[in-house]
Structure 1
Amino acid sequence: MPLRSAGYTHEEDRLLCQVYMKISQDPIKCVYQSFDQFWSRVAAAYENGKDASWSKRTKKSIHCRIQTTEKETQKLHACIKQCENIRPSGASNDDIFKEAKLMLLDDPKYKGGWKFDPYDEEDIMGGSSSKKPIGVKKAKLKRKIDEQTSLVINTVEEGKTKLLEKLEKTNPQRQQHLEIQNKNYALKKFKEENKILFRDLNSIQDPNVRA
C-alpha cells in the first residue's frame, strides 16, 4: 500500500490555484479537451512550476486538492454573504472576513477552520493548540488573518467568473465556426454541380450522357 503523501503547503496551494485558473481560463483548449486532458495539463503545469524540494503530486491528488479548495471556498463564501447581511453598514471587508472565518470555525464539519490560512494552527496559537480554550483560539485566529488567505479565495472565485464569461463568448464562436463550415461545404457542392452543368456537351462522347 503506497504511503500517504504529506499535506499541501500554502506555497503549493497558491501555485496550484494559479495554474488551475490559468488553464481553466483558456477559451479554446478548455472547451475542446477531455476531462483527463485538462487535469493532465494542470498536473504538468504544477510540476513545471513547483520547487524541487516540494513533494511530488499525482494527477489524482491535484484533482482532489482542487475539489477540496473549491468546496471550502464555497462554504466560506456563503459565510461571508451571511456576515454581510447581518453586519451593520460601514463594516470593513476585513471585519466581515474575520467574522466569516469564525462562523466557519463553528461548523462541526470545519472544526479546523479555514485550512488555507498562511499560518499553521500551532504558529497561530503560539504553541500547542490543544491547551488553549476555543475562545482563545478564535481570538488568535481573528488577529492572524492576512492577504494570502484572501488571495486564494479571490483566485478561485474570480477565476470561475472569468471562465463562465469566456465560455459564454466561446459558444457563439463555435456556432459561427460550424455555420462557416456548413456554408463552405454547400459552396463546394454548388461548384461541383456547376462544373457538370457548364461542361461542353461536345466533349462528351457518350450520347446517352449528352442526352
Structure 2
Amino acid sequence: MSSGNQSSGYTNEDDIHLCHVYLDVSQNPIIGTNQSRDQFWSRVESDYNNLKAEFITELRAKRSLQCRMQTILTSVNKLRGCVRQIENLHPNSASDQDIMHRAKALLMQDKKYIKGFKFDHVWSILKDIPKFSNDTSLPQLSQKWRVDICSSQSNSPSTESPTSPNLASSTFSLHLIDEDILVNSSQRPVEVKKAKLKRIEEEQHLNVLESIKQNSKEIKGIFKKSTKDRRKNFILQMIAAKIEAKKWAVKELREEQKIFQKDLSSEPDLAVREYYQTERIRILAKKAQQG
C-alpha cells in the first residue's frame, strides 16, 4: 500500500523502510558504538538511500529522516502509554482489539492527536522495542567493546557499559604487585623491589598493546562480515516490508469494515462512540479523495 501521510511526503513503505534502517543502525554491535548524533543520522541517511527497495524512489536528507523518525517515535510512545492505561483499567475483561480501540480513543483526547493515530503500519515494528529515551533523535546505542586484561592472562574482548571513548583508552586491570615481593618486602632492598615492579609493569603494558592489536584485527574482520550481512538483511527486510505493506492494506480494509459494522447504540462509553464516529468520517473522506 503506497498511501501514507502525503502532507509529509512519506508513504507507508517509506516509514517501514526508515524504521528498519533506524533499528539496524542503532542496534548494530559494531557501528552502533561511539557515534555522535550527527554520525548516527549520517549512517541512517546513507543506509536509507543506498539500501532502499525499488518501490522507494525518493532520496531523503538526514534532517528530514530525523524529523520523521522523531514524529513516529513520539506518536508510538504516546499510544503505548494509552495502551498501558487501558490494560490497567481492564486487565482481564477486554480483548486485544478492544484495548487497542479504547487506547486510540484515549489518544484522541489529546489535542495533538485529535485526528487519531497515523502509524499503524509501523506499530508492529516499534511497539515492543525498549522504552524510548527523552531524546528520541538518538537512541541508546549498542554497548562498546572493552578489553579486560588480568595479570596478562586474558586477551578476549567483552562487552560492558560504555566508560571511555575508544578501545585504546579502555580500562585495563593491571595487577602489578607480585606475591613474592609482598611477602618479602621487609627483607629486600627498595631498589630491587622497584626494579621488579618496573619490569612487571613493562611486561603488562606490552601485553596490553598486543591485545589491542589483536582486538583491532578481530573487530575489522567482524565489521567487514557485518557490512556484507547487513546488505543481505536489508534486501530481505525490503521484501518483507513490501509483503507487510500489502498485509496492512488488507488488515486496514477489514478494520474499516468492522468500524462500520459496530453497533454504537449499545456502546456505553461516550469516548469510544466518538472515536468510531470520527473514524467513519475519516474513512469516508479518504475513499472520496481516492476516487
Cα distance in 2 between the residues matched to 1:188 and 1:55: 62
Residue 173 (structure 1) shift: 8.4
Normalising by structure 2, report the TM-score. 0.45
Question: Which residue does 1:196 correspond to in 2?
Answer: none
1:54 paired residue among 52, 57, 60? 57
Which one has a larger percent helix, Structure 1 or Structure 2?
1
> Which letter does structure 1 place at the counterpart of 2:88?
N
Question: Which residue does 1:104 correspond to in 2?
Answer: 107
- The 5-angstrom pairing of residues 1-211 of structure 1 reads 6-52=8-54, 53-118=56-121, 149-154=123-128, 157-158=129-130, 166-167=142-143, 169-171=159-161, 178-180=170-172, 190-191=201-202
Which one has a larger percent strand, Structure 1 or Structure 2?
2
Residue 181 (structure 1) shift: 8.0
Tell me the SS of whatever aligns to 1:179: coil
Cα distance in 2 between the residues matched to 1:114 and 1:28: 35
Cα distance in 1 between the residues matched to 2:36 and 2:96: 39
Cα distance in 2 between the residues matched to 1:159 and 1:48: 29
> Which letter does structure 2 place at the counterpart of 1:46?
Y
Contact 1:80 1:96 in 2 (8 A): yes
Q: Which runs of 5+ in 2 are unaligned?
A: 1-6, 134-138, 145-158, 177-196, 204-291
Residue 27 (structure 1) shift: 3.0
Cα distance in 1 between the residues matched to 2:68 and 2:109: 23
Cα distance in 1 between the residues matched to 2:107 and 2:17: 24
Residue 37 (structure 1) shift: 0.9
Cα distance in 1 between the residues matched to 2:68 and 2:50: 18
Residue 80 (structure 1) shift: 0.6
Q: Number of residue pairs matched?
A: 156
Residue 93 (structure 1) shift: 2.1
Contact 1:79 1:101 in 2 (8 A): yes
Contact 2:26 2:141 in 1 (8 A): no
Cα distance in 1 between the residues matched to 2:48 and 2:100: 29
Change (3 A) 1:171 1:187: farther
Question: Which residue does 1:134 correspond to in 2?
Answer: none
Residue 76 (structure 1) shift: 0.6
Change (3 A) 1:182 1:34: farther
Change (3 A) 1:164 1:62: closer
Cα distance in 1 between the residues matched to 2:64 and 2:141: 28
Normalising by structure 1, report the TM-score. 0.59
Tell me the SS of whatever aligns to 2:171: helix
Cα distance in 2 between the residues matched to 1:188 and 1:171: 32
Contact 1:15 1:49 in 2 (8 A): no
Contact 2:143 2:162 in 1 (8 A): no
> Which letter does structure 1 place at the counterpart of 2:23?
M
Tell me the SS of whatever aligns to 2:127: helix
Tell me the SS of whatever aligns to 1:98: helix
Cα distance in 2 between the residues matched to 1:113 and 1:188: 70
Residue 83 (structure 1) shift: 0.6
Cα distance in 2 between the residues matched to 1:8 and 1:96: 28
Cα distance in 1 between the residues matched to 2:174 and 2:10: 49
Residue 77 (structure 1) shift: 0.9
Change (3 A) 1:26 1:182: farther
Q: Give the superposed CA RMSD.
A: 3.8
